[in-house]
Chain A
Amino acid sequence: MEIKFDRVSLVINPYTPLEKTILNSVSFEIKETGIYSFLGKSNSGKTAIGELINALISPTNGKVYIGKFINDGRKIRKINRLRLSAGYVFKNPYDMFIESTVRKEIECGMKYFKYKLKDKNFRAKDALKLVGLDETFLNMNPRKLNLRDAKKVAIACILIFNPEIIILDEPTIGLNNKDKTDLERLLKLLKNRYGKTIIILSKDTNFCFKTSDYFYLMEKTRIITHGDKTLLKDEEILKAIGLEVPHIVKFSNEVRRQGHKLHDYINILDLIKGVYRDAK
């Protein structure tokens, strides 16, 4: 499914003293499946991009094309079909939960999108397994879960209805290192085996550097640059935007500055092996 932003602007409270520009003439195009990251500081307009793709808000100017749907402020016919094909995981998972158990919560999406499946129960278990939780969570109250588990349940809620596009807003908040590795593995599985388009809206450059194929750097309501992994190797751009330079990039650049030769690595384990090999 293609996504195209055509000079999209978003202003809230227009013509009042509280007027605030969220997006300022943003244009980009996503054609192929893959993992795309939108990196930027707070208030750079990342969340707005996710909400515009999901048609939760409409732009003040410009058009958003999501497959055959157009979000340009006018009423979208069969809006649920658009939302069925573009799942959106919220920043705060507790905002999503309305049911009393995790099972009901996960099946909620299937119920309202009128999915006609007999094996809903099996599917809920499957979705939970994908995110790394076991069956014991099914009868728990989602509001009483800790942030780490709640985040995983929120992802499972979206995975159950099998959307073509998955939008993750700050997916790494509250997750420990192991969970991040699991999430990375899951995203890669979704991309490679199921051919999903995944959009990550985050500040976590370390996680995005490992997982994503393409990057959009945002600052103050605009997309400054975009490119593949080489973009994150430029320390100056990242520092100018106020983002953290990935640890691997920082280390590699420092080593090269000292006059040593080192290949490009994405994974820390590969980097250690590489350093060991080069030292030999």
Chain B
Amino acid sequence: MQSRTLFGSYYPVVSIVHKLNPIIKLINFLICIITLILTNNLYINIFMFILTIIMMFLSYVPIRFYFKTFYFLRYIYLIIVFVCYYLNINLTDTLVYILKLITIIEYLKIFSYTTSPSETIYAIEKTLSPFNFLYLPLNKIAIKINNILRYIPNLETSKQKILKSLSSRGLDYYHTNIIKKIYITLKIRKNLFLVNKDKNKEIYLCSKYRLYNAKKYRTNYRTNKIGFYDIVFITFHLLIIISYIKIRGIL
């Protein structure tokens, strides 16, 4: 009965961003992260930030879903501002750091909202395929990465249930002060991980009984073709790399 505004859960609607090729989406995401980590240029950061906002609107996922994450992390942004102020870092750099953080987090949210679990596995597998010559268990790695990404929503679902049951027995999380909230969080911590451990065990057993073999390569029915919008989006991302190279004067 809980609303679907959790971090990392897939939001099933038809949109331009949903229709993008998952491999291209993942490559775009990697480009975004790498360039933002490497550069401290304000214009590149603003450009990336605007591109992220455009993608947010094109994904047809309600903006308040994205805003919730921003609101949730408000204290972290405030801490960054205070630290920068304390270390005498100028205003432009402070803005760059905050923009970086917001862009990466919101981009990750766009990726998780618009890419289904099976598409994510497919994308990770294909993106890592150049490392095939090393005989790495890529399927296993892809599934593990995906499980890590989807672990947080699972944890959140269990948490909601436990909080509800605690509320019904007199320990209401939503109508108490911060000290009691900390007490409740510490109290449910152990149980929460135990519930999730049981769930993961069940998933593992289910896949085992369905003769799932992680070592074997799986066939894929999906034909992820590269379309017009894929080219448009990757062009924008390549523009960022080119601008970065030009600013650094590498070429």
Contacts and interface: CB of A to CB of B under 8 A. Distances in A.
Contacts of A119: none
B130 to A, nearest CB: 37
Interface stretch (B99-107, B166-174, B208-216): B166-174
A89 to B, nearest CB: 9
A95 B162 contact: yes
Contact of A112 (B12, B62, B162, B171): B171
Contacts of A113: 169-170
Given A95-B161, A95-B162, A143-B194, A108 B3 contact: no
B205 interface: no
B11 A112 contact: no
Given A48-B1, A51-B1, A98 B170 contact: no
Interface residues of B, number: 28
Nearest to B162: A95
B191 A97 contact: yes
B187 interface: yes
A111 to B, nearest CB: 8
B188 interface: yes
Contacts, number: 71
Contacts of B162: 95, 98
A169 to B, nearest CB: 11
Contacts of A109: 169-170
Interface in A40-95: 47-48, 51, 54, 56-57, 75, 79-80, 83-84, 87-88, 90, 92, 94-95
Contacts of A47: 1
Interface stretch (A15-23, A222-230, A231-239, A257-265): A15-23
A13 B167 contact: no
A173 interface: no
Contact of B187 (A92, A98, A143): A98
Interface in B146-166: 158, 161-162, 164-166
A84 B168 CA distance: 8
B4 A84 contact: no
Interface of A: 12-13, 15-18, 22, 47-48, 51, 54, 56-57, 75, 79-80, 83-84, 87-88, 90, 92, 94-98, 108-109, 111-114, 143, 157
5 contacts: A79-B172, A83-B168, A83-B170, A88-B168, A98-B188
